[in-house]
């Protein structure tokens, strides 16, 4: 029998969304699954957006690259972080980071140069975005014992003549790892030598803890000599509690961006203009709100780790230094999908099975501490009760 | 008109008049940067140049560039945002600043060079801003595809900005981007000193042969003084707008000579802390 849509048959709906769909059917469920901040978009952003709306500024397309005012603001913000990019030719405003990533992947994947290296574990949608772009995801395991850090030898073994690029989040989702400068420079060295692109997704850059607290995240995009090799993606979703606004941006050297913008134009024409006005207000006026989110996440991280410590017979984990996820290992080793289903059905707590983040994620769960402290406490009470019932 | 709008109009009216009094009292040298893009880098470049020349310089905070922001910038006050209490305090401070006629407040050695970005959203916005403050120098950047919603055409935006040129005094300076036809066309709107900058052949402060290096932009800077001066410059930033900003910096350095005497006077009187 002829298979309908053979290409998309190979693409999966994000397991995070699958879990959320299942969770939605269960009354009184607590979800620590999706990486949605518990906060509402800051007032200052909403007010500026309403003003733009009422002034009749949002009904028409913007330039494909995005509103010039917004891109100017982005250039300024990047400069504050030591990254120098030209707002006129090197920054494109996108419909969230996943659009930026997909457009970048479509740009760099070409013919036999179709392999994209992903860390395992890494964000579930990366592998699907690679497939959408006609590429092949190639997983490189992170080393759990050393805090889910980079295994350079493992990476070197996976780089071939077909490698088009490497895509990773820093800090990493789901492990919260902040990759060291030394490791990132090794990736850059390899990319230069083997001529592949680096797509660095830094949506969680503003949420750093412990030894990284108060520091600016090191990015390969800060090194001018690497600007033709590095494509950096950022989204306002997490930093400014704007997941529903679908707004982000991508920047790189002009010679790379002028190709990415063609894909962006074909896919979305331009990012939603109303969200572009919101983004402008966020970048200009909402840093205090973001700092408030950061300190709240820092507190929730400690609370979450405390709960996991109380359940040390069932979980072991590496402390996350960034983002708002922890990725505990199940003790004894279990099938993560089976366990997540069971937890959802019996304890009414939604978490994401580790296998969703790549083969090396099996036997783990992703728990988000982006939710409220009350939700976190209630979810862990239920998990504790579940384990007691199992005993 | 709802309550919020009515309150805004009242605040706007009070701030406008307090700002006008403050300007009449302190007589700052006003440099206005206007255009649809690139204002922020031009403003920074002017600030750098004036500081190099030892002037007291102040610029408007980002986005304090319209009907409420401009008076706040002139009075060097923050915004009350949506907080009525904060606005009350700000209006009180504004009144104190504007109506302080003590000798200390009128000290000519504290006279500032005030760099203001001006933005427009709708027709007649510029006329309103000019009713608050009139420039001594105007730097025009670009007229590109934004703000079109209320202007219908870019030519209409150009005409709105032209009001700035017409507002200059006889001894003012009008700096125009020679690469933007709508901007360079404004030269006829002013009879005083007009300086042009850009890549165009006829630009007085000219960038030639731009090249991008691994660490930024590089270009040949040319200016006709007694003789043609020409040398290469390097900027550790990417994008042509930084070249334009550098050209404007040169224009400011050329037109504002160093003030060592005033600087040392201020230093001796401990006034440098006000910069």
Beta strand pairing call for B113-118 and A30-31: unpaired
Distance between CA atoms of A82 and A103, rounded to whole angstroms? 25
pLDDT at position A207 over 50: yes
Q: Hey, are the CB atoms on A86 and B238 less than 8 Å from each other?
A: yes
Instruction: Say whether residue B4 is in contact with chain A using an 8 A CB cutoff.
Output: no
B55 in a structural domain: yes
How is B23-49 classified by DSSP, letter by letter? Answer: HHHH-PEEEEEESSS-HHHHHHHHHHH
The answer to whether residue B171 sits within a structural domain is: yes
A36-45, A233-242, B95-104, B174-183: which range is least confident on average? B95-104
B228: phi then psi, degrees, rounded to nearest 5: -75, 120
The token pair at A334 is 């279990």
Lowest mean pLDDT among A110-124, A192-206, B109-123, B139-153: B139-153
Is there a contact between B63 and A284 if contact means CB atoms under 8 Å apart? Answer: yes
Residues of A within 8 A of B82 (CB-CB) are 43, 47
Chain B CB within 8 Å of residue A43 CB: yes
A61/chain B closest Cα distance in angstroms: 11
Give yes or no for residue B274 having a pLDDT over 80. Answer: no
B149 and A284 within 8 Å at the Cβ level: the answer is no
pLDDT value, residue B3? 54
Query: Which of B145, B237, B241 lies nearest to residue A63, judging by beta carbons?
Result: B145
Domain range holding B130?
A: 3-268
pTM value is: 0.91
Closest-CA residue in chain A for B79?
A: A285
For the residues B14-29, what does the mean pLDDT come to? 94
Nearest residue in A to B240, CA atom:
A86
Q: How far is B125 from chain A (nearest CA, A)?
A: 14
Q: Which two tokens stand for residue A226?
A: 């690497």
Interface contact B241-A88, CB threshold 8 A: yes
Q: Which of B63, B82, B150 sits opposite A47 (nearest CB)?
A: B82
Nearest to A72 among B40, B145, B215 (CB): B40
CB-CB under 8 Å, A43 with B82: yes
What is the domain count for chain B?
Answer: 1
Instruction: Give the closest residue to A352 by CA, choosing from A136, A204, A173.
Output: A173
Residues on chain B touching A251 (C-beta within 8 angstroms): none
User: Which positions in chain A touch B40 (Cβ < 8 Å)?
Assistant: 72, 76
Give residue-wise pLDDT tens across range A159-176: 999 999 999 999 999 999
The pLDDT > 90 percentage for chain A reads 90
Confidence category of residue B177, pLDDT binned at 50, 70, 90: very high
With cut-offs at 50, 70 and 90, classify the pLDDT of residue A17.
confident
pLDDT band at B150 (very low <50, low <70, confident <90, very high): confident
Instruction: Indicate if the pLDDT at residue B266 is higher than 80.
Output: no
- With CA atoms as reference, report the closest residue to A88 among A74, A105, A107, A104: A74
For A246-265, what is the mean pLDDT? 98
pLDDT at position B251 is 97
The chain A residue lying nearest B217, using CA atoms, is A86
B209 reaches A (C-beta below 8 A)? no
Residue A79 distance to chain B (closest CA, Å): 9
The confidence score (pLDDT) of residue A100 equals 98
A57 to B38: CB separation less than 8 angstroms, yes or no:
no
Q: What does the angle CA B67 – CA B69 – CA B72 come to, to the nearest 5 degrees? A: 115
Q: What is the CATH number of the domain that holds B39?
A: 3.40.1190.10
**Could you give phi then psi for residue B176, rounded to 5 degrees?**
-120, 140
Is B272 a residue whose pLDDT tops 80?
no
Q: How far is B242 from chain A (nearest CA, A)?
A: 9
Q: Which of B121, B149, B239 sits opposite A86 (nearest CB)?
A: B239
| φ and ψ at residue B207, rounded to 5 degrees | -105, 130
State CA A150 to chain mean position distance: 17
Mean pLDDT lowest among A83-87, A231-235, B113-117, B264-268: B264-268
| Token duo for residue A128 | 């699907």
Q: Is B210 on the interface with A (CB under 8 A)?
A: no
User: Do the domain assignments include residue B257?
Assistant: yes
Asked if residues A340 and A190 have their Cβ atoms less than 8 Å apart, the reply is no
Interface contact flag, B146 A225, Cβ < 8 Å: no
Judge whether residue B134 has pLDDT over 60: yes
Q: Which of A76, A87, A90, A280 is best to mutate for the B interface (most B CBs within 10 A)?
A: A87
Q: Residue B275: its pLDDT value, please?
A: 46
Q: Is A287 on the interface with B (CB under 8 A)?
A: no
Q: CB-based contact (8 Å) between A52 and chain B? A: no
Round to whole Å and give the CA distance between A3 and B116. 65
Instruction: Supply the pLDDT for residue B8.
Output: 86
For residue A330, what pLDDT band results from cuts at 50, 70 and 90?
very high
- Minimum-distance CB partner of B146 among A67, A75, A224: A67
Inter-chain residue contact B37 with A69, CB threshold 8 Å? yes
Query: B16 and chain A: CB distance < 8 Å anywhere?
Result: no
Quick check: B5 contacting A, CB < 8 Å? no
How far is it, in rounded angstroms, from Cα A52 to Cα A34?
Answer: 30
Asked if B239 reaches chain A (Cβ–Cβ under 8 Å), the answer is: yes
Which residue in chain B has the smallest CA separation from A66? Answer: B146
Q: Sort out which chain B residues have CB atoms less than 8 A from A227's CB and list them.
A: 238
| Residue A240 pLDDT | 97
Which residues in chain B are closer than 8 Å to A90, comparing Cβ atoms?
Answer: 238-239
Pick the CATH number of A6-40+288-390 from 3.30.2350.10, 2.40.50.140, 3.90.1150.10, 1.20.58.410: 3.90.1150.10
Q: Which of the four pLDDT bands, split at 50, 70 and 90, describes residue B136? A: very high
Supply angle C-alpha A287, B119, B39, rounded to 5: 70
Give me the pLDDT at residue B109, please.
62
**Domain for residue B100, yes or no?**
yes
The answer to the question of residue B275 being in a domain is: no
| Residue B43 touches chain A, beta carbons under 8 Å | no
Spatial separation of the C-alpha atoms in residues A4 and A231, rounded to whole Å: 35
Question: Would the CB atoms of B241 and A55 count as touching at under 8 Å?
Answer: no
What CA–CA distance (Å, rounded) separates A206 from A322? 8
| CATH code matching the domain that covers A43-285, chosen among 3.40.50.10440, 3.65.10.10, 3.30.1490.20, 3.40.640.10 | 3.40.640.10
Average pLDDT, chain A: 95
What residues contact A68, with CB distance under 8 A and at least 6 apart? Answer: A87, A88, B36, B37, B144, B145, B146
Mutate: best of A59, A71, A88, partner B, most B CBs <10 A = A88
Residue with the bigger pLDDT between B83 and B205: it is: B205
- A110 part of contact set with chain B, CB < 8 Å: no
Whether A15 has a pLDDT exceeding 90, the answer reads no
Mean pLDDT to the nearest integer, A125-134: 96
pLDDT category of residue B268 using cuts at 50, 70 and 90? confident
Q: A95-128 pLDDT, tens per residue?
A: 999 999 999 999 999 999 999 999 999 999 999 9
Residues of B in contact with A89 (CB under 8 A): 239
Of B40, B81, B240, the CB nearest to A76: B40
Residue B38 lies in a domain: yes
Q: Kindly determine whether residue A43 and residue B144, on different chains, have CB atoms separated by under 8 Å.
A: no
- Distance in Å, alpha carbon of B58 to nearest chain A alpha carbon: 19
User: Which pLDDT does position A36 carry in this prediction?
Assistant: 86
Q: How far, in Å, CA of B234 to CA of B246, rounded?
A: 10
Angle at B104 between CA B98 and CA B109, to 5 degrees: 100
Q: What is the mean predicted confidence (pLDDT) over A314-318?
A: 96
Instruction: Please state the domain extents for chain A.
Output: 6-40+288-390, 43-285
> B64 lies in a domain?
yes
Closest partner residue to A56 among B82, B149, B236, by Cβ? Answer: B149
Q: Which of A44, A15, A37 is nearest to A237 (CA)?
A: A37
Do A225 and B214 lie within an 8 Å CB cutoff?
yes
* pLDDT confidence band for B154 (50 / 70 / 90): confident
| Cross-chain Cβ contact A56/B62 below 8 Å | no
CB contact under 8 A, A224 and B237: no
């Amino acid at each position: 029998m002829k298979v309908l849509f053979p290409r998309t048959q190979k693409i999966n709906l994000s397991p995070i969304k699958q879990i959320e769909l299942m969770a939605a059917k269960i009354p009184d469920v607590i979800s620590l699954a999706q990486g949605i901040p518990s906060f509402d978009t800051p007032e200052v952003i909403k007010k500026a957006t309403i003003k733009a709306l009422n002034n009749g500024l949002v009904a028409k397309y913007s330039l494909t690259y995005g509103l010039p005012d917004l891109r100017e603001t982005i250039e300024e913000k990047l400069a504050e972080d030591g990254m120098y990019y030209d707002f006129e030719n090197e920054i494109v405003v996108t419909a969230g980071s996943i659009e930026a990533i997909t457009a970048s992947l479509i740009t760099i994947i070409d013919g036999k140069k179709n392999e994209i290296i992903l860390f395992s574990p890494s964000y579930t949608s990366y592998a699907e975005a690679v497939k959408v772009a006609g590429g092949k995801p190639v997983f490189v395991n992170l080393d759990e014992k050393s805090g889910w850090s980079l295994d350079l030898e493992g990476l070197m073994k996976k780089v071939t003549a077909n490698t088009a690029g490497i895509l990773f989040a820093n800090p990493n989702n789901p492990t919260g790892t902040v990759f060291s400068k030394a490791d990132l420079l090794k990736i850059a060295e390899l990319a230069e030598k083997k001529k592949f692109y680096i797509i660095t997704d830094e949506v969680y850059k503003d949420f750093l803890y412990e030894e990284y607290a108060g520091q600016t995240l090191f990015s390969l995009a800060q090194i001018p000599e690497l600007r033709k090799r590095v494509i950096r993606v950022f989204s306002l979703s997490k930093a400014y509690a704007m997941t529903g606004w679908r707004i982000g941006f991508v920047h790189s050297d002009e010679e790379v961006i002028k190709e990415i913008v063609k894909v962006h134009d074909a896919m979305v024409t331009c990012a939603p203009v109303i969200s572009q006005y919101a983004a402008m207000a966020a970048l200009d006026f909402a840093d205090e709100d973001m700092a408030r989110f950061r300190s709240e996440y820092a507190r929730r991280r400690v609370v979450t780790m405390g709960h996991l410590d109380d359940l040390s017979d069932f979980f072991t984990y590496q402390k996350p230094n960034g983002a708002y996820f922890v990725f505990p290992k199940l003790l004894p080793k279990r099938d993560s999908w089976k366990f997540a289903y069971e937890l959802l059905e019996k304890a009414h707590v939604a978490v994401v099975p580790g296998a969703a983040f790549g083969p090396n994620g099996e036997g783990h769960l992703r728990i988000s501490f982006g939710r409220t402290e009350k939700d976190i406490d209630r979810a862990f009470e239920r998990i504790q009760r579940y384990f007691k019932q199992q005993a | 008109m709802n309550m919020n709008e009515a309150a805004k109009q009242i605040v706007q009216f009070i701030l406008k008049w307090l700002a006008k009094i403050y300007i009449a009292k302190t007589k700052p040298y006003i440099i206005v940067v206007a255009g649809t893009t690139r204002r922020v880098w031009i403003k920074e470049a002017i600030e750098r140049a004036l500081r190099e020349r030892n002037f007291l310089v102040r610029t408007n905070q980002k986005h304090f560039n319209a009907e409420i922001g401009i008076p706040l910038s002139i009075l060097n006050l923050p915004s009350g945002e949506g907080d009525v209490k904060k606005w009350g305090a700000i209006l009180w401070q504004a009144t104190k600043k504007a109506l302080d006629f003590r000798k200390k407040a009128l000290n000519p050695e504290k006279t500032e060079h005030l760099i203001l970005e001006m933005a427009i959203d709708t027709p007649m916005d510029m006329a309103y801003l000019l009713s608050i403050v009139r420039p001594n120098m105007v730097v025009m950047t670009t007229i590109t595809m934004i703000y079109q919603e209320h202007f219908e055409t870019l030519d209409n935006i150009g005409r709105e900005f032209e009001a700035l040129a017409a507002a200059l005094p006889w001894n003012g300076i009008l700096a125009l981007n020679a690469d933007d036809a709508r901007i360079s066309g404004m030269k006829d709107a002013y009879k005083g000193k007009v300086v042009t900058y850009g890549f165009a052949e006829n630009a007085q402060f000219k960038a030639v042969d731009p090249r991008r290096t691994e660490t930024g932009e590089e270009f040949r800077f040319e200016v006709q003084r007694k003789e043609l001066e020409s040398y290469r410059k390097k900027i550790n930033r990417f994008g042509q707008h930084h070249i334009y900003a550098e050209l404007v910096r040169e224009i400011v350095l050329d037109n504002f000579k160093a003030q060592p005497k005033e600087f040392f006077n201020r230093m001796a009187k401990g006034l440098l802390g006000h910069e």
